[in-house]
Structure 1
Amino acid sequence: MNEQLHALVEHTIAQGVGARVFALRWENRRIWVKQAVPAKQKVWHRLQRFGANITGIPMLRPTVSPGGKEGLESEAAVLRKLSALGILVPDLIDVGENWIAIGDNGGILQTLIDEDLHKGDEGAVKNRVIDAGTALAGLHESGLAHGAPLLRNMTIRDDGKIGFIDFEEDPNARMPIVDAQARDILLFVFSIQREFKKRPELLRAGWQAYVAAAGNNAPQLVPLRKVIRLLRPVYLILRPFRRWLGTDALNGLWAYRTLRKSLYQA
């Protein structure tokens, strides 16, 4: 425990920072302090658990953070494990009673992609999405899953290496690892579709990069194929009504179509 850092963090929190996650300068570097939050268990999560038991699909199990000190300790444990495996994650600087202090992991990938789009640099946008898919496959190769591998939860250093942040949801202990990784894939491709609704080539690029790195016979594609197959009736029912569907539902249809076409051609 670093008493000076603890005193600085506690003083800053007492002053009212107005944010759950905030930056500080410490030993000539920028660090981030993440405060604990209450557990997020809701009725919806109980329904999710029930649905997972009924359908036999483990990836439907809720992975919500337990909150409080337990949630922080869980995230700290994941950071230690991934760092030991060579995955680019924030270094764990210190752990308090109600907070953790972590190092800076680089720029937020989603933000940098948005900047590239604003500049009209199409090549940079596509390359970043490809790098993200490749990095997620690398994380999975380490034998773990992320839990929420959205573009906003990925980072990029000055040397171009992709990293990961925000490990509040830890699916690794809640389902078989291949199911947790299949769930990661669904969330990853959906995040691309959600951010770039009229750019299906970016969705395909991210997905193809993942498969190229992981391999067509990667074990996590087995439960993914099962879920895609089970979702086909839902897709067929919703497709005629896409004109009236909400944004998330439409994004889900597009992501589903891309995955199905690829998985059943492989």
Structure 2
Amino acid sequence: MSNFTELLHASLDQQNESIQSYEFEHVKVWLKKASTRHSIWIYTPLKWLARLLHIEALTPIPNYGGKKAIQCEYRRITSLAKLGVSTPKVLALCDNGILLQDAANGGQHVIQLDHALAQADGTEQRLKLYTDAMTEIQTLHHKGAYLSEAFVRNILVDAHHHFTFIDFETDPGEILNLKNCQIRDWLCFIFSSSYRFKLEEIEQASTIFYDALNKNKKVLREICKIGHKLQWILHFKPEKLGNDGKRIQKCMLFLKKLEQHEPLPMI
């Protein structure tokens, strides 16, 4: 039994949080333990919205929690790592927990892309971060892969714009085909990144997105169709509902700008 395995077993029962960091043998590690599954009821509104609007990519992906989520995390990290996708290194595994090496142990300080976009020194730096993150996602998509929750909080970045992807407790591939898994990645990315742009930067960001995906017309047009179906949300002035509402507003504005680059065919 390795020292990391001993740490995993020794810490599981004592750890109260679902995820916690430790310093062990000069290495920073994260222990994720099996936790209670999410209630199926929280997925019901999104499930019905996806059905009503015929948007398969919005079908909610349940987090089953417990041992199943731990095994899913291990399976997804392992499969992505084999494709050369940067993910946390698995140090130890058991039914009720997984021990992961911190992404910064290569010597580079890393932060969530969400924070990096917020802290960027001006529009140019923010758009550069955004562009490089998109390129990284495209690279893994070209390998026939997809993420689990492609929100910018689940993407780590260092000063050299090297990206690491985290949080794999769900597997969209259990429910969706590859195309819709990848569309879902982009929808998660758009929703979470748009909030970090100023209103006057959203058009530039949408242009970058359009140019990047222009060679993959089927995916781009599907994203535009989804955005078109969701534009009614803007009539309810979501920005009046606090930060969550502003996230929705900026996401919808981004999708509206994107559709202007790629007008939908007249039927």
TM-score, scaled to structure 2: 0.82
Structure 1 residue identity aligned to 2:35: V
> How far apart, in 2, do the equivalents of 1:94 and 1:243 lie?
44
Work out which of the residue numbers 85, 88, 95 in structure 1 matches 2:86. 88
Q: Deviations over 1:199-219 (max 9, x none)?
A: 541x45554444444434343
Gap change, CA 1:170 and 1:211, over 3 Å in 2: farther
Aligned to 1:181: 182
**SS class of match (1:33):** strand
* 3-state SS of 1:94 partner: strand
CA distance in 2, matches of 1:65, 1:243: 29
**Take 1:83 and 1:162, find their aligned partners in 2: how far apart are those partners?**
13
Aligned to 2:139: 138
Q: What is the Cα deviation at residue 93 of structure 1?
A: 2.0
Structure 2 contact 203–257 (Cα < 8 Å) conserved:
no
Deviations 1:24-58 (A, max 9, x none): 33454222211111111332313433443343321
Q: What is the total number of aligned residue pairs between the two structures?
A: 256
Cα offsets for 1:102-156 (capped at 9, x unmatched):
2222312333444x44xx4654333222222222222322223223222221112
Structure 2 CA distance for aligned equivalents of residues 260 and 121 of structure 1: 24
CA distance in 2, matches of 1:71, 1:65: 7
1:222 maps to what in 2?
Answer: 221
Residue 73 of structure 1 corresponds to: 71
What SS does the aligned partner of 2:135 have? Answer: helix
Bigger shift: residues 75-84 or 182-191: 182-191
Instruction: Give the 3 Å change call, closer, same or farther, for CA 97–200 of structure 1 in structure 2.
Output: farther
Q: Taking structure 1 as the reference length, what is the TM-score of the superposition?
A: 0.82
Name the CA shift for 1:213/1:103 in 2 (closer, same or farther; >3 Å): farther
**Could you say if the C-alpha distance between residues 210 and 258 of structure 1 is closer, same or farther in structure 2, counting changes exceeding 3 Å?**
closer
Instruction: Label 1:133 to 1:102 Cα distance change in 2 as closer, same or farther (>3 A).
Output: same
Match of 2:50 among 52, 60, 64: 52
Q: How does 1:244-255 map to 2 (within 5 A)?
A: 244-255=240-251
| Contact persistence 2:114–2:152 (CA under 8 A) | yes
Does the aligned pair in 2 maintain the 1:34–1:100 contact within 8 Å?
yes
**CA RMSD, Structure 1 to Structure 2 (Å):** 2.7
Question: Which whole-Å CA distance do the structure 2 matches of 1:98 and 1:200 have between them?
Answer: 47
Provide the rounded CA distance (Å) in 2 between the counterparts of 1:104 and 1:242: 37
Shift in alpha-carbon separation, 1:82–1:206, aligned structure 2, 3 A: farther
**1:110 and 2:114 equivalent?**
yes
Further displaced range: 61-70 or 214-223: 214-223
CA pair 73-13 structure 1, distance change in 2 beyond 3 A: closer
CA distance in 1, matches of 2:207, 2:246: 21
